[in-house]
């Protein structure tokens, strides 16, 4: 076989191998999800993708109602939007934190580290993310849960 013929044969073999690996990966991914579900582990990666994309488009000054409307429902009853909310007071200020799921995808339970806090001061969106929430809590002497 000539060099050109060998290259074409190798390309076909490589394409076939690649397609086979992609197909096997898709099948195994579905199997993994199916196998883990009875053990209480579910795939929340779609919720993560949706929540992260929408959190990144929040604007300071939004009200809690506007944020809930903007992010929308999660589509999964195990991880509602928001997953949890907390309120704190510091002097004349009221802080409210909504926590949205933004974890890795496959989880038997949802730790705080898999949540993204969205923080309001006096009903106005001030910021989001753990570094923002932890620094704000420290600044206003608010005791929050450890993640």
Q: How far apart are CA 36 and CA 61, in angstroms?
A: 41
Average pLDDT, rounded, for the chain: 81
Task: Report the pLDDT value the prediction gives residue 77, as an integer from 0 to 100.
Answer: 83
Q: In the numeric block, which tokens belong to residue 39?
A: 């053990």
Q: How far apart are CA 80 and CA 110, in angstroms?
A: 12
Say if pTM beats, i.e. exceeds, 0.85.
no
Q: How far apart are CA 55 and CA 98, in angstroms?
A: 11
Task: Report the pLDDT value the prediction gives residue 12, as an integer from 0 to 100.
Answer: 60
User: Is 105:48 a contact under the CB 8 Å cutoff?
Assistant: yes
In whole angstroms, how large is the CA radius of gyration of the chain?
A: 23
CA 47 to chain centre: 6
Backbone angles phi, psi at 146, to 5 degrees: -75, 145
Q: How far apart are CA 69 and CA 147, in angstroms?
A: 26
Torsion sign over Cα 20, 26, 30, 31: positive
CA 97 to chain centre: 16
- Under 8 Å CB-to-CB from 94, ≥6 apart: which residues? 87, 88, 121, 122, 123
The 10s digit of each residue's pLDDT in 28-40 is: 444 444 444 444 4
The 10s digit of each residue's pLDDT in 9-27 is: 655 655 555 444 444 444 4
Q: How far apart are CA 76 and CA 44, in angstroms?
A: 8
């Amino acid at each position: 076989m000539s060099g050109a013929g060998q290259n074409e044969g190798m390309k076909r073999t490589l394409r076939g191998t690649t397609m086979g690996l992609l197909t096997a990966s898709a099948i195994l991914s579905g199997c993994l999800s199916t196998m883990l579900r009875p053990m209480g582990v579910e795939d929340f990666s779609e919720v993560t993708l949706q929540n992260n994309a929408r959190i990144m488009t929040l604007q300071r000054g939004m009200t809690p109602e506007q944020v809930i409307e903007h992010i929308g429902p999660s589509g999964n009853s195990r991880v509602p939007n928001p997953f949890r909310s907390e309120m704190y007071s510091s002097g004349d200020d009221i802080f409210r934190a909504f926590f949205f799921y933004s974890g890795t995808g496959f989880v038997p339970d949802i730790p705080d580290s898999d949540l993204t806090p969205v923080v309001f001061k006096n009903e106005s969106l001030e910021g989001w993310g753990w570094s923002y929430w932890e620094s704000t809590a420290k600044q206003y002497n608010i005791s929050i849960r450890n993640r």
